[in-house]
A and B are shown apart, each in its own frame.
Chain A
Amino acid sequence: GAVVSQHPSRVICKSGTSVKIECRSLDFQATTMFWYRQFPKKSLMLMATSNEGSKATYEQGVEKDKFLINHASLTLSTLTVTSAHPEDSSFYICSANRAGGRETQYFGPGTRLLVL
């Protein structure tokens, strides 16, 4: 149990376009989902915490108008990178806390974004 999926797994887009990444908890309800960004050979940096039915909480330095997060249901959160630029190229990873669970986050496999 506790499987988290992400779609797409890899996306290439042109500069200036917007890209939506989906994060789904497949076999559990997730009241909280997290979005991370991972740079090559670097650690995961938390971008935002997404709670179902409310606005996401963004970490310092993360532009909320550029990285739009929607957590419309207990099993789905989306991250939209608006007007993407080459510097947004990265590996984006989501994770989810099981509703009623404690502390353990379950991670998706990640989405590789390349902006040309």
Chain B
Amino acid sequence: GDSVTQMEGPVTLSEEACLTINCTYTATGYPSLFWYVQYPGEGLQLLLKATKADDKGSNKGFEATYRKETTSFHLEKGSVQVSDSAVYFCALSGAGAQKLVFGQGTRLTINP
């Protein structure tokens, strides 16, 4: 079945550092890919998404590119802030399907 594998956490960085959280997937067909963020004490929020190969999703300085050749959707940000501290989930929904398959989540902590 479909699956998502994320970089193991936790990840701790200093403010203004570069961030990459790796995400790879296994799916049949052409899934849509998502990054969700869960801030402390809150529910999941959609951060960005891409629905077809070579699409780039972006939001709040974060970017991820749908790479079909490497089945990857790595999350990147050039300069992180303390407020980016959260748990990040990579997810996919299969072609024609509504339900989401999540990765295990990566906890990110940014120190001032």
CB-based contact B99/A107 at 8 Å: no
CB-based contact A43/B105 at 8 Å: yes
CB-based contact B93/A103 at 8 Å: yes
Interface residues of A in 76-116 (CB under 8 A from B): 93, 95, 97, 103-110
Chain B 46-84: CB-based contact to A (< 8 A → 1; otherwise 0)? 100101000000000000000000000000000000000
CB-based contact A43/B43 at 8 Å: no
Interface residue tally for chain A (C-beta within 8 Å): 21
**Is B32 in contact with chain A by the CB < 8 A criterion?**
yes
CB-based contact A43/B104 at 8 Å: yes
**Is A49 in contact with chain B by the CB < 8 A criterion?**
yes
**Is A12 in contact with chain B by the CB < 8 A criterion?**
no
**Is A4 in contact with chain B by the CB < 8 A criterion?**
yes
User: In the complex, which of the residues A6, A41, A43, A103 contacts B102, with contact meaning CB atoms closer than 8 Å?
Assistant: A43
CB-based contact B103/A32 at 8 Å: no
* Size bracket, chain B contacts: 20 to 34
Q: Evaluate whether A93 and B98 lie within 8 angstroms (CB atoms) in the complex, with A43-B89, A103-B51 already known.
A: no
CB-based contact B43/A93 at 8 Å: yes
- Which residues on the A side are within 8 Å of B45 (C-beta)? 107
Interface residues of A in 57-84 (CB under 8 A from B): none
CA distance A106 to B111 in the complex (A): 29
CA distance A65 to B36 in the complex (A): 31
Q: Evaluate whether A109 and B43 lie within 8 angstroms (CB atoms) in the complex, with A43-B105, A44-B89 already known.
A: yes
CB-based contact B32/A103 at 8 Å: yes
CA distance A81 to B19 in the complex (A): 40
**Is B44 in contact with chain A by the CB < 8 A criterion?**
yes
By CB atoms of chain A within 10 A, which of B49, B102, B104 has the most? B102
